[in-house]
Structures are given as structure tokens and as C-alpha cells.
Amino acid sequence: MAIRAIILLYLFVILYDVKGQGIRDSVFELPQVHVRAERIFEKESAGMRQTLIDSLTMQQKVNASLSELLSENTSVFIKNHGRGALATASFRGTAPSHTGVSWNGINISSPMTGMVDFALVPVYIMDEMHLKHGTASIADQAGGLGGSISISNRPDWDNTFSTHYTQGIGSYKTYKEYLKVEGGNQEVQLRTRAYHNQSENNYTFLNRAIADVEDGRVTHPVDTNTHADYKNYGLLQEVYLRPGGNHLVSARWWGQWAQRTLPRATSFEGPDNTNLNEQSSIDQRFVTDWTFFTGSGKWLVRSGYSNKSLDYFQKNRVPGVGLLPAVYSESTSHSYLNHAAYTHQVNEFFSLEGSLDVNYYDVDSRDSVSRAGFRVDRIEYSLFFALRHSFRDRLNVNLMVRQNHTDNAWDPIVPYAGFDLKISQRHNLILKGSVARNHHQPSLNDLYWQPGGNPDLLPEKGMAYELGLQHEQAFENLLLRNEITFYRSDVDDWIIWVPGFKGYWEPTNIKRVLSEGVEVHSLLEGKTAGIAWRTSATYALTRAVNYGDPLVWGDNSYGKQLVYIPRHSGNLLIHMAWRGFQVNWQHNSYSERYTTSSNDVSRRDWLYPYHMNNVSLGKAFSIGMMDFSARLKINNLFNESYHSVLYRPMPGRNYMLLLQAGF
């Protein structure tokens, strides 16, 4: 009943007979307020559910990681193993490897695991971020059963010279530093960004995984999150050239070094310093591209390289001997990524696009203690073609098809058909829909990891359907945007790792997983009595259910929600600015999450719902040519005790002070 009420209220709002005029362009100048937004009726995005993280939100999250940005501002659920620890994404109830992630057009997902650790991607290195929900990701790459995330950088051709420095000091001995220097002219732009982030991360928490019983009373101890420190350094260098009016050349290099200690699970009751777990990584990514504009088309040629070195060791204390290594794993991956595309605008209503990708991956993983490991490579070819047509500003049609060739075999063809139908010109009300299939290859770890890899795994494949309404309206001094999307994704041969009878985890295929749900997004912004304000809200209903073979998979798992997927999630952001003062309130809510495939709550191995509230207050001012700002952020305002992953507690109320200077 609650869901029906939300949907009916939503439809009432967007269908109400208001007096505003339809919005027709990407920049809107309203009395006393300037609102910038993306166009919502273009043939190139027909049928696609997309999310753009705007520049205002990016500025407010400059000291955050990509995991925080996504969890607080989108419908993507982030599975966080702790503050500063591994953070992976679940897009529409899918697995982390089902979300494609690209940086300036090159795939940065690990070829070993097929996923990205979002805790290691700082918002500071981004200028724009787009999300394509569901099979709209076919426009970027195949395999994004949940969707895709695109991170990009762009030049400011009007900038001659500027520099900004930000210092952050926070709870648990946390220090963050950011420096940006950029400059140039209309032909050349250079930009350098450097950052440093470290924390002792020694917060206290009530350990509900351990109990003391005395005189019939059960008490839980207060523990400290020890051996959980982390630090990382990074540098992003960008070069942009315009050698002629029709040419644009760019080169970008991003390097990062990270190290973190991994704490024990809170259920551990042994002596302190019994073991030590540490992980370090070095990432290097380079991409260069050339864009050439013709009279009716555009050529794009891009080449990139991504390298990751990941070392992990676990040392156990042996009485009388000391710490001895139990695991010492060293993994290195190299990715060579190449892309060529041409877009042709036949006329105002009709366009064509074609592209070719050739990618090569080389992976080497070894454990010097167990002497297990693997060395393997993979080459992928991908052909893409799209046809887009607009029928007199009333109907847009988007037809796409992608064909991949992986490991000397052709994958099934991946087609997509989407449409946008403007059902109300006056109110800019658009009906969107799409149908597509998708295909996802197992990661190299799935196939070859030692021990446990399964070279007989089948690729995941399925069909997806979407239908939604999108509405955007300009009032006298307001902008209102609403969108609701219903989706259904039916996936066969879903890959999941389960404990095997040999004593280690192994991947296997589930016969069928059904993911369906609703996504709702609303935005209202404007200016009142000199106060610029914005309210943005997102809600997602996600039903991801295992329909594997009950005779094989187990009756207790059949028809149950997949582990760690919340059925209900939502967030709300309220922003106000007046004469340099800024106030932000961020709210996030998640329903219960199950940690067993049978959804068994009697074992208490399930995670309670939680509601997170963050507040920030800031002031910006200028002295001469210098700009200054100060901002205080209070995270977990009401000091809520919560977990994102079982036995991995998150911190209580904590603080961060950010000071910035620049010109």
C-alpha cells in the first residue's frame, strides 16, 4: 500500500495542470536564479535511464570517496566493509562485477575481479559523473547487467591560471590534503591535481557480536577498531590541446599508491595482536584521445593503459617465534584498451554511430606461501552500431547492437531498443521504455583463481525491460524534475561464490535470478528571498530473488532475496546558500539486509535497518584576489550504531573540518 501511495502521489504531481512553460534547452535563466541541467529529450539517449551528478554536489563532496558520493546521491547500494575499507556497488540488486566503471572512456574495472573498489576513487579527481541504469550501459560496454558509471575530466578553456589548496582535519586522526594548479589559454590547458589521505581510523563501537553474561544479565563490550589505519597518495596530470578549430587532443595520467591494515571481524575473541592483515596497491592509468569534427560528424580515437599491483599478506603470531606469514599474495594486472568511433549526423532527425574496441588483459597472481597462483591473458573485440531517429520532436527511437568476441569465441549479439515519447508538450512529460538483452563473461578470478576457480563456468545472460515517466518543468523562479522507472531483469547462469566441500570457496552458476523494482528521483531548486536552495530525493525498491534449481541450490534459498541487497533504500539532500553561507543536510535510509541465502533471521546474522544523517555548515569569502572557505561536516549526526557488512562496524558521530584557499 505504501508503494502504491508513493506512485499515485508522484503521478499526481507531474500531471497536475500548472502554468509553467516546457523547458527546451540545457541552460535556463530564471529570475534571480540560474539553473543548469542536461537535456531530457534527445534521440541519443532515448529509452535510457541516466543520472548526472551535477557540479554543485561534486563540490560539496570534494573530500569524499566515490563510494560516499554514490550511496548518498544515487540509487546504487554500496556494500562497505568499514571506514576506508573495501567498498563495492550493487546496481539494481546485481553483483559488484555487473557494474561497468570507466574513466575518460577506458574501463578501469579489475580484469581479475571484474569490479572496482570505490573507496579508493576520490571525488577530487572527477569533473563529471554519469550513471547509465540497467542495459543502457550497452552504449558503453557489454556486461553491465546492473548499469555503468562513467567518470570524466574536462578542460576549462577560459581559465588562464588558478590554484586551490584544501586541508581537512577530522576525527580518528584523519588528515586530508588536496592541491590543484591549472592554467593555459584557448589552445592549451594544463591541470595538475595532487591529494593525500590518511587516518588512524581507531573509532570505538559497541561490539554486539560478543556478549558477557553475569548474574543473568547480557552485556556487550565497547571495543576499538584497531589495526584499521589507511593512507593513500595520488596525482592526476591533464593536458589538453586544440591545434585547430576541428581538432581536440588530450592526455591524462592518474597514479595512486594506497595502503591499509584490515581489522579482524568483531566476532573474534582471541588475544590482541594475534595476527596482522595488510593490503597495499599501486594503480597507474593513462589515456590519450584525439577528436576530429567534420561538417556532419565526429571521429574519436582513444588509447589507454591501466596497471594495478596488489599485495596482500596475513601474518599469524606463533608463541615463541613471532609473526609468521600465512598468506603473501602478489597480483599484477595490465590492461591495454583501444577505441575508435565515428558519429554521423545525417540530418537534424537522424544519426548513426559505429565503434570498434580492442582490449587486451594480462594477469599474474601468486601466493609465495602456498605456492598457488595463475598467469593468464584475455583479448576482447567489441563491435557497436547505433541508429537514432527523432520524429518531429514527439518521438525518439534509439536502436543499438553490440557484438563481442572473447577468448577466440563470439559472444551472443546484444541488442537494445529504446524510445522516448513526449506525451505532453506543455508539461514536458515523457514516456520512456526499452527492451534489451545483455551478456556478461566470468572474471579471470572466477575462472582461474587458485584454489577454487571454475573454468567450466557459463557466462551470465538475460533480458531486461524498462518503462518510466520523466518530467521537467520551469516555474516563475523554480525548476522541478521528476522521474520514475519500473524495471525487470531476468538473468540465467548467475555466478556466485559458495563454500565448497574441499574447504574453500568456489564459484558456481545459479540457474536464474530475477531482479525487479522501482526507482524514483525528484529535484526541486530555486531562489527565495535571496536564499538559493535545492532539494533532491531518491527512492529505490529492489527485489533481487534467487530462482535457482531447488533440487540443487537448496529449498531454503529458493525465492529468497539475495544477500546484502536492501529491499528499500533512499536518500534526501537539502542545500541552502545565502551570502556565502552554506548549509547541507544529507539523509540516507536502508531496510534490513540478509547475510544468509535462506534469509534466516533466527540466527541473528542479518543487518538491521539504519538511517544516516550528515550535516555540513560552511562560509566562503574573498580578500582581494584570494578566495577562502571553511566548512564543518558532522557525519552520523545522531550517533547511530550500524553495519553495512556483518561484523564490520561503522563509526559513530565524527567530524571533519575543511579549509580552502585559492585564486
pLDDT tens-place string over residues 233-282: 999 999 999 998 899 999 999 999 999 998 888 876 665 555 788 999 99
Total of domains in the chain: 1
Q: Which cell is 175 given?
A: 588528515
Phi then psi for 161, rounded to 5 degrees? -165, 135
Q: Which cell is 2 given?
A: 505504501
Average pLDDT over residues 328-353: 95
Range of the domain at 368: 16-662
**Cβ atoms of residues 35 and 492 within 8 Å:** no
Query: 11 by DSSP, 3-state: which?
Result: helix
Residue 4 forms part of a structural domain: no
Residue 27 forms part of a structural domain: yes
Instruction: Indicate the length of the chain as a whole number.
Output: 663
What is the rounded CA–CA span in Å between residue 78 and residue 71? 6
Residue 629 forms part of a structural domain: yes
Q: Which of left, alpha, beta for 175 (phi over 0: left; psi -120 to 50: alpha)? A: beta
Place of cell 606469514: 325
- Per-residue pLDDT at 555: 59
**Cβ atoms of residues 334 and 362 within 8 Å:** yes
Query: 306 by DSSP, 3-state: which?
Result: strand
Q: Which cell is 479 given?
A: 525548476
- Per-residue pLDDT at 411: 94
How large a percentage of the chain has pLDDT more than 90?
A: 70
How many Å from the N-terminal Cα to the C-terminal Cα in the chain? 54
Residue 2 forms part of a structural domain: no
pLDDT tens-place string over residues 445-472: 999 999 899 999 999 999 999 999 999 9
- Per-residue pLDDT at 492: 95
- Per-residue pLDDT at 273: 55
What is the rounded CA–CA span in Å between residue 166 and residue 164? 7
What is the rounded CA–CA span in Å between residue 12 and residue 484? 13
Say if residue 18's pLDDT is above 70.
no
pLDDT tens-place string over residues 77-120: 999 999 999 999 999 999 999 999 999 999 999 999 999 999 99
Exposure letters 170-184 (e unless 16+ CB within 10 A, then b): bbbebebbbbbebeb
Average pLDDT over residues 564-590: 95
Lowest mean per-residue pLDDT among 197-201, 292-296, 303-307, 583-587: 292-296
What is the rounded CA–CA span in Å between residue 297 and residue 23? 27
State which amino acid sits at residue 589: S
Say if residue 165's pLDDT is above 50.
yes
Residue 393 forms part of a structural domain: yes
Q: CB within 8 A of 585, min separation 6: which ones? A: 572, 573, 574, 613, 614, 615
Say if residue 539's pLDDT is above 60.
yes
- Neighbouring-strand partners of residue 131: 51, 149
What is the rounded CA–CA span in Å between residue 438 and residue 463? 6
Which candidate, 473, 390, 483, places its Cα nearest to that of 432?
Answer: 483
Lowest mean per-residue pLDDT among 13-17, 73-77, 216-220, 386-390: 13-17
Average pLDDT over residues 613-625: 94
What is the rounded CA–CA span in Å between residue 347 and residue 350? 5
State which amino acid sits at residue 408: N
- Per-residue pLDDT at 227: 87
Q: CB within 8 A of 562, min separation 6: which ones? A: 93, 513, 544, 545, 546, 597
Other C-beta atoms within 10 Å of 58: how many? Answer: 18
What is the CATH number for 321?
A: 2.40.170.20
Which candidate, 112, 75, 110, 122, places its Cα nearest to that of 94?
Answer: 75
Strands, E assignment, 49-199:
50-53, 77-80, 87-90, 99-103, 106-107, 128-133, 147-152, 161-170, 174-184, 188-199
Which candidate, 483, 500, 392, places its Cα nearest to that of 449?
Answer: 500
- Per-residue pLDDT at 612: 93
- Using DSSP bridges, classify how beta strands 147-152 and 99-103 pair: parallel, antiparallel or unpaired: parallel
pLDDT tens-place string over residues 496-524: 988 878 888 899 998 899 999 999 999 99
**Cβ atoms of residues 639 and 652 within 8 Å:** yes
Q: Is 130 exposed, middle or buried (0-12, 13-18, 19+ CB in 10 A)?
A: middle
Average model confidence (pLDDT) across the chain: 89
- Per-residue pLDDT at 453: 93
Average pLDDT over residues 533-561: 83
- Per-residue pLDDT at 51: 93
Q: Which cell is 284 given?
A: 597507474
Lowest mean per-residue pLDDT among 213-222, 501-510, 561-570: 213-222
Residue 3 forms part of a structural domain: no
Which candidate, 126, 65, 60, 75, places its Cα nearest to that of 576?
Answer: 60
Residue 232 forms part of a structural domain: yes
Say if residue 628's pLDDT is above 80.
yes
- Neighbouring-strand partners of residue 157: none
- Per-residue pLDDT at 28: 32
Residue 585 forms part of a structural domain: yes
